[in-house]
Each structure stands twice: as structure tokens, then as C-alpha cells.
Amino acid sequence: MSQTTPTHDETIDSKQRDIVLECRNLSVSFDMDRGTSRVLHDVDIDIRRGEIIGIVGESGSGKSMFASALLNAVVNPGITEGSVTYNPRDGSPIDVLELDKGPLRNLRWEDISMVFQGAMSSFNPTMDFREHFVETLEAHDYHVGDGMRRAKELLADLYLDPERVLDSYPHELSGGMKQRALIALSLVLEPEVLVMDEPTAALDLLMQRSIISLLSDLRDKYDLTMVFITHDLPLITKLADRIGVLYAFEFAEVGETTEMVNDPKHPYTRALLNATPNLDAPLSEMRPIAGSAPDPVAVPTGCPYHERCPMATPECADVKPPMEAVSNSHEVACHHWSDVDDEIPLSTGVER
């Protein structure tokens, strides 16, 4: 039997189906008295269908703005520019930033759902959890009976007693239980993509690890794509297939988790790993990152990291480095990435 060679257009269509979210020149800014505050700048990234991608960076690096921009949820007076294209499994691509209020509201729950940091503030304290689920289902014209059966299955998948949780009010559950209930609520309308902004930040270490393990199981069972926003690099290495490192409101490095942990090529990524607490490492080997992140109103020219970088040269101060391919699954924005192994050796940090 002869084998048909796919056409160019068919190849493009196949690749497009593998990308669930496509960001191009994605930027967020706020006009302030002292100038324009640029809190996300010309971000280009593709998020693959079925993957878990971790977005990592220091506080103020643009992580939460990236999460909000994915859903066109940046609050006024923020200005979101560029494009975010959602490619559903069935149907035509959707320009998220061009959606009207009604379709955008539906997309945020039914296609791309988000879990914000701090579960307590996400729930109405006068409503029990059953009411929260029913209200969400009715607002989107979902069959309540079918939806509540899914809710109970999701709660059980998250190691919660469905009836106990549904009959409880927010103040009656622990922080970890509320966070898991919020994840279940975010998935009750069967979205394809789940965006999580620091979902474990307020939880103790044991509960963080428990939720990380549960998220991996949920991804596999419900065929989800996950975007996990965090400042905690060791935490996300246990979950993510890929990691993107944000610095000064743009990506410094993106790659498969194994490569990012074992052979990162950006000086900032190496600095993050070398600054990561490790109980087995002596204090003398800990290397805090010198300096501070740039002001969003006055991001330096050239490489935004050059003022803190031990490898910086005049070129770094003058010329912005492009994203370059280290391998088929690894990109970095650094003029001197090929020298980083010798200049900034990995000494401490997450288990490698």
C-alpha cells in the first residue's frame, strides 16, 4: 500500500494542532505619572497541547501579568498588546485579545480556566461549596446534574470527601482543602487549559508536594494542558515538562525541564539554581543573586540582566540578545551562553 506524503499545509495544520496557546509580542503596560510601567514585554512563546509548563521568576518579574494576559484579564488601566491565539481541538483559532465581553467570559471558564493565588478570597463566605458549583454550572448553561457528578469526581480525585466539602462553607475547610476545592471548581466546566498563579504559595511544604502530585494525575486523567506560575524553582521541577524563566518582564530561557535543571545556559537561570536552598549544601556554597530586579519604568538597554551579570560585556549593555536555539527543545537569550559552563558552574540547588 502506498504511503501518502503530507502536503505543506497539512504539516502546518498538524503543528498548529499541537500548540494550544500561541503568544506573539505579548506586552502589558501601565501609564504612570513617572512614565510607562512595562510589566510584560514582547513575549513570544508556544504552549503545547497536553504539557505542563512552569513559568518561574523572582517577585516582580512579570509572572502574574503573563498569566492574566493569557486570558485577557489584565485589570484597568493596564494595556495588553500583541496576540494570544487559542487553538481549540475542534474549530478555528480564537484571538483571545479581540473577544467581546460575553465570549471572553465563556472562554475563561469553558476553555481556559485560572486558579489564582489565595483560595480564601475566591469564595463567597456566605455560600457553601455546593452553591459555588451550582452557580458556576447554571451561569454557563451546563446541565447541573451532570456537572455535579463531575464535581464530585474531581473532588474525589483531589482526595477530598465530596459530600463533606460540598456541604461546607469556606471557613470550615483548611487552606489546602480550599485550594483543592478551587482547582475542582476551575475544572468543572471541562476546560482544556488550566492556568495556575502561585496556587501553592500559602501552603506548607507537605501540602505543596501533595498538590503537585495530584496535578500530575489530573493532567493525565483529564487530558489537560497546565501553565503553572511560581517563584519556587525546585517545586516546579517535580511537575513541569518544560520551564520558562522570566526576567525583567520577558523570557530569558525556555527549555525542557531536564535541560533547564542540568544544563541551563542563561546566567540568571544558573544564579537561581545556585541560590536555591539545599539542606545538603554547606552555607558557604550558597550564592544569593547580587543586586535587584530592574524598575519596570526604567528597564536597562541591551540585556536586561547585564547590570547583575558577572559575565556582562559592553555588548550586553548595548545590544539586546535574541532568543537562540541551544537544542531543538531549549532556547536562551544571552550573548555568551556558550561560555556559561566555565564562567558560572552549578554548585548547589535542586536535585540534579
The domain locations on the chain are 18-240, 265-343
Q: What is the pLDDT of residue 286?
A: 58
3-state secondary structure of 191: coil
CATH homologous superfamily of 18-240 equals P-loop containing nucleotide triphosphate hydrolases (3.40.50.300)
Contact 337, 254 (CB under 8 A): no
Closest CA to 166 of 202, 116, 180, 208: 180
**Lowest-pLDDT choice from 182-191, 229-238, 290-299:** 290-299
Q: What is the pLDDT of residue 293?
A: 83
pTM across the whole model: 0.90
Burial (Cβ within 10 Å: 0-12, 13-18, ≥19) of residue 299: middle
DSSP E strand stretches across the chain: 19-32, 35-48, 52-56, 79-86, 94-95, 112-115, 193-197, 225-230, 242-247, 250-256, 324-327, 330-332
Indicate if the pLDDT at residue 267 is higher than 50: yes
Q: Report d(CA 78, CA 334) in Å as an integer.
A: 29
Closest CA to 310 of 348, 259, 274, 284: 274
Contact 65, 39 (CB under 8 A): yes
Indicate if the pLDDT at residue 283 is higher than 60: no
Question: pLDDT-derived band of residue 10, with 50, 70 and 90 as boundaries?
Answer: very low
Beta bridge partners of 236: none
191 Cβ contact list (under 8 Å, min separation 6): 109, 110, 111, 112, 113, 224
Instruction: Using alpha carbons, list the distances in angstroms from residue 169 to 30, 66, 80, 118, 174.
Output: 37, 32, 36, 16, 11
